[in-house]
Chain A
Amino acid sequence: MKETNVNQKFVPDARMKALIARRLKLVIEKKRDLYCDNAEFLVYHWSGEAASFSPATGEHACDVDHRINIGDHNARVDVGIPFPKAKEMPSKQGKFEYTPLNWAQDYVYFIDNSPAEVHENELIVGEFHWQLDEARFFQYPQEQRDAGFDARELGAGGISFTHTCPDLSIGLSLGWNGLLEKVRNNIAKFEKAGETEKVNYLNGSEIIALSIQRFIKRHAYAARDKASKSSDSKQIDLYLSIAEVCENLSERAPQTLHEAVQWIWFFQVAERMHGHGNGYGRTDQLLQPFYQKDISEGKITRQMARELVGEMYIKYGSYTALGGRLKDLSDATNEMSWVCLEAYDLVGGINHMGVMWHDDMDKDFYRYANDVLTRHGCGVPILVNYDVLKASEVRSGYREEDAWNVAYSGCQWYCGVGTEYNDQDVNSLVLVKPMQRAIAAAIENDTKTFDEFWEMYCHEVDRTADALVKFKNSTYDWQAKVWPEMVTSFCMYDCIEKGKDCTDKDAVRYNFTSVNVLGVPNVADSVYAIKELVFEQNRYSLADLQNAINNDWKDNEVMRQHFLNVPKFGNDLDGADEMAVWVSEQVREVLESKRNNKGFPFRPSLFQYMGHTYAGPMLGATPDGRLAKEPLAHGMNPMHGRNNNGIAATVNSFTKLDFAKYQGGSFQIELTPDFFKAGVEKDKMMEAFSVAFFKKGGVQINFNLVDLKVLEEAMHDNDNPAYHDINVKVTGYSSHFVSMDKRFQKEFIERVNYKSL
């Protein structure tokens, strides 16, 4: 929905308005875009080129014409040039080594040479223009890459890179001096024990902590400098306030809400400089003590609190969570939960917060969340089912005392705060591939029964999973040396204490490998159609089918229609839905039977961000009647245009799966404004819908209110400023519609299938 059409509940003042205007300007000027190298990256979550997303500049950057824009949800602010001192990086001057200390030396040089900027009207400062992978060599050794190509051949892939959720309360309570002291104490401990490798790691941590302190202090200098040159008294007050806060934070722990918000933001800047993708936990829990103290001391008003949090959202609407339960299972909603949501109502725009519903949640707060969601109409906040998140963590093997502190942390995933490094959303298993091999094998063996065919399919899924295991293990052997995540590790439990990076083996408490399974609904629909038409009705042979799909169904329209019109998942029809459950359970069991070399099982997630769009042509036509040019199904959502019995039927099909057994699987709803007839209270209807959905066992809702006509116009007139402020929730992440890749814009429009009831 267009930002300018939103009826906000809280009105920004001139200062906030100016900051909001700057945010939009950066978007229009394409300064917040995020890229990957190629379509393979989106499908297999590994490009075969860069070791992660595409660095925007530098030696591993993909050329501008080939890279794919994933949307403008980047915290980095592009300034149009590469990192000016890339050639002088220590590893390029001296010696490059695959060690954390060598990496740390690069990081320190990098942040020391990143500017400290203070912009007009800001109260919360900190911005960055480059990521370390634009300046430091980031590639795994050949053995890992070879395993990657083998896995891709069989239909799997993945990176390992900053997809976890640190616990910022660790840093908020210690401050940088406290963190530094903790590091030094552990250095002394390991020196005594003669554990050089750990000492070296912590030596790296030490110089990084010091460099972050310098970075913060430089902001104080910059603010004072600006204050001395300004004549506007209001602006001078802002600069001086910034200077004071930064001076404090460069050393001690935060003591006020302003300081706490600034501390969190600096941490994110320092951390995202070495890679983006992490969530930041439960903001309402983190900030509540500071807010309460400030309020009771009369230091702050609720509106000031909204503005501080709102400013952080303007900088970057990180993945954060509100609500959920506390350790004693009581409702965790507090006053700060309200402030965090109100802050969004104040500043709007792109944001990635999630509200974690449960049956005992403060009803007014949940109503307000639905009010914000339907009034702004762009998928903020994301609604998730806390009890299902927690149940799935417990099922995976989480200890109760850790599992309660789970947070919605990424597009469509969640994570134990500070305790888990699990590669969420960066691994892929493309289920269509094993199915294609099973069809070929069944033809070769002249298979006569469905059971035999199914066995071949299971065997092929297993082969793909094995290839993925090999690739991931090879990555894990190297990850902590190739690209440690040393800033993140400050706020992870046990890392500093163990002298190990959070990416390393035996560092954090939980190290599952989570895998996005792509194409479950297509494979389920395909296998079901094969079962019906090939094995039960004997209407077509597998060879006919293979021939038809290899030719993209050309000259086989009647046959395609038959395959297309066998009942499909998503219509609440038992046979087709049972197959979808069967297919997803099968791949789940296969993955859970495999262990990574960190000692933890693999786990499936049933969601996608963009892979389904690009996978279509790459994989060819499928036996569900799909043409090659069509996208695959979006996560576990039924294939576009195949759920013709309305949303309720789709929900019923969808929730036949037990989401506590998976690591997420969001339900995507795009509604046109007509859906809510005049006079209907949108917030109440959305609330009722989501509560019913969650009670049926659903785990996440990504919701958009979409005016199709406007989007179609926007797609053909990308440069028209009238369309620049349309935000959409692409999957779990938000983006401005005009900055999305064309192909993805098209898919987004096509998936709007609930025009009206």
Chain B
Amino acid sequence: MQVANKEIKGRIFKIESLNTHNGPGYRTVVYLKGCPLNCLWCHNPEGISSKKEIWVIHSKCIDCTSCILACPNSALSQKDGKIEVDRNKCEGCYRCADACPSKAIEKIGEDYSVDEVFNRLLKDKPFIDASGGGVTVTGGEPGTYPEFVGRLFEKCREAGIHTAFDTSGQISDMALEKIIPFTDLVFFDLKILEEEPAIKWTGRGISKILKSLHWIIAYKSKNDGPELQFRTPIIPGATDGAENLNSIAKLISDKYKALFTEWEMNLFNDICEDKYERLNKTWSLGQAKSDLADYKRIEKFRDDNAGLKIKISGFVQK
């Protein structure tokens, strides 16, 4: 017998309604926790580990030390008036967060069943219906939860809710098999196409990603859908080189030209820097945000490759 939808869970660190930039119309975006890659520029670093984590919003802390007393693993301490987390000791039990009177400690990641998330989507349905919107799963890498995403999308399909799957491509064929048949739109990340730099910047090589892409293309040739869009984050020094962009352009124009509807180039900003701090991680791309010159260059690239349906997104300081 099949496991019931209320039993199948995904670990989610955020659900956002009325999002306007992850597919058509108003999107309810579900962020799943856990990613096989480790891109140095990641904007959602709290989505990389699949473990439950906490972070402290120091501005809300009133120094009551309730959290330290509540922690069973002595993972918390106070240093220079600030609560510090020993990530090696923390097991994500969330007792500290529950004890904190000012909600300065935030829980990152809670497990929700397919039914729970679906019910949440139903509440947004009037917005989704009125705008031609839908649900978008992202992360992390949502393909980390094949059963969960597949079942959720299946239910959405039945309810007439448009589904979008935002993936790095670093996922198993089994995951694709579960998810793609219920997906209306795939956002497929193409970051770096060469093996060495890919490993350097994202922690993994490129072969599995290309294999997934081929899988989706093959699926599309036999089925009516899903719609395919490419996404490339424009990271100074990492992905934005002419060579890299040209090789992506070559890949998609040679083989897939008729098969995708948009290639989105997302300019880079550093508004996630404080997240790294809160996670006690270092942010190695400190000064590396896109500027006007980058924007101009990408704009030219777009105009030179008119057939590639390029759209530029993201902010630059003008």
Contact = CB atoms under 8 A, between A and B. Distances in A.
> Do A and B truly interact?
yes
B3 interface: no
B103 interface: yes
B18 A565 contact: no
Interface stretch (A68-76, A97-105, A689-697): A689-697
B17 A558 contact: no
A288 interface: no
A558 B126 contact: no
A677 B20 contact: yes
B16 A689 contact: no
Given A565-B101, A565-B102, A685 B311 contact: no
B21 A680 contact: yes
A702 B16 CA distance: 23
Interface in B87-101: 101
A648 B17 contact: yes
Contact of B131 (A564, A647, A649, A688): A688
B1 interface: no
Contact of A648 (B20, B123, B130): B123
Nearest to A572: B123
A646 interface: yes
Contact of A688 (B16, B25, B62): B25
Contacts of B62: 557-558, 561
A81 interface: no
A708 to B, nearest CB: 16
Contact of A646 (B17, B21, B25): B17
A677 B26 contact: no
Interface residues of B, number: 25
A689 B102 contact: no
Interface in B274-313: 311, 313
Interface string A291-324: 0000000000000000000000000000000000
B18 A677 contact: no
Nearest to A565: B103
Contact of B18 (A564, A572, A648, A691): A648
B20 A688 contact: no
A684 interface: yes
Contacts of A647: 17-18
B110 interface: no
A692 B127 contact: yes
Nearest to A688: B131
A680 B20 contact: yes
A679 B131 contact: no
Given A557-B62, A561-B102, A646 B18 contact: yes
Nearest to A644: B103
A420 to B, nearest CB: 32
B129 interface: yes
Given A680-B20, A757-B20, A689 B127 contact: yes
Interface in A623-678: 646-649, 652, 675-678
B64 interface: yes
B84 interface: no
Residue from B16, B62, B130, B131 having most chain A Cβ neighbours under 10 A: B130
A675 B19 CA distance: 9
A562 interface: yes
B126 A696 contact: yes
Given A561-B62, A561-B102, A565-B101, A688 B127 contact: yes
Contacts of A691: 126, 130
Contact of A679 (B18, B127, B132, B313): B313
B20 A685 contact: yes
B184 interface: no
A648 B17 CA distance: 6
Contact of B126 (A565, A695, A757): A695
B26 A688 contact: yes
Given A561-B102, A562-B101, A757 B19 contact: yes
Nearest to B120: A572
B247 to A, nearest CB: 27
Q: Which of B16, B62, B127, B313 has the most CB of A within 10 A?
A: B127
A677 B101 contact: no
Contacts of B21: 677, 680
Interface string A537-581: 000000000000000000001100110110000001000000000
Q: Select the residue from B102, B126, B132 with max chain A CB neighbours within 10 A.
A: B126
B131 A684 contact: yes
B18 A689 contact: yes
B130 A692 contact: yes
A558 B18 contact: no
B127 A648 contact: yes
A689 B25 CA distance: 10
B173 interface: no
A696 B130 CA distance: 12
A677 B20 CA distance: 7
Nearest to B271: A756
Contacts of A693: 126
Nearest to B25: A688
Nearest to B18: A648
A757 B101 contact: no
B44 to A, nearest CB: 15
A561 B131 CA distance: 39
Contact of A676 (B20, B101, B129): B20
B124 interface: yes
Given A648-B123, A648-B127, A688-B127, A561 B18 contact: no
Contacts of B130: 687-689, 691-692, 695
Nearest to B27: A757
Nearest to A655: B126
Contacts of A688: 25-26, 127, 130-133
Interface string B179-191: 0000000000000
Contacts of B126: 691-693, 695-696
Which of A558, A564, A675, A687 has the largest count of B CB atoms less than 10 A from its CB? A558
Contacts of A648: 17-18, 28, 123-124, 127
A693 B130 CA distance: 10
A367 to B, nearest CB: 12
Given A561-B62, A757-B20, A678 B102 contact: no
Nearest to A645: B17
Contacts of A687: 130
Nearest to B19: A757
B89 to A, nearest CB: 26
B101 A561 contact: yes
A675 B130 CA distance: 18
A558 B64 contact: yes
Interface string B62-75: 10100000000000
A757 B18 CA distance: 7
Nearest to A675: B20
Contacts of B20: 675-677, 680, 685, 757
Contacts of B123: 572, 648, 652
B199 to A, nearest CB: 33
B74 to A, nearest CB: 22
Nearest to A649: B17
Interface in B103-137: 103, 123-124, 126-127, 129-133
A646 B64 CA distance: 29
A569 B175 CA distance: 39
Closest 6 CB pairs of A and B: A648-B17, A688-B131, A692-B126, A561-B101, A688-B130, A561-B102
6 contacts: A646-B17, A680-B21, A692-B126, A693-B126, A696-B126, A757-B19
Given A649-B17, A677-B21, A692-B130, 16 more contacts: A561-B101, A562-B101, A565-B103, A572-B123, A648-B18, A648-B123, A648-B124, A675-B20, A684-B131, A688-B130, A688-B131, A689-B127, A689-B131, A695-B126, A695-B130, A757-B19
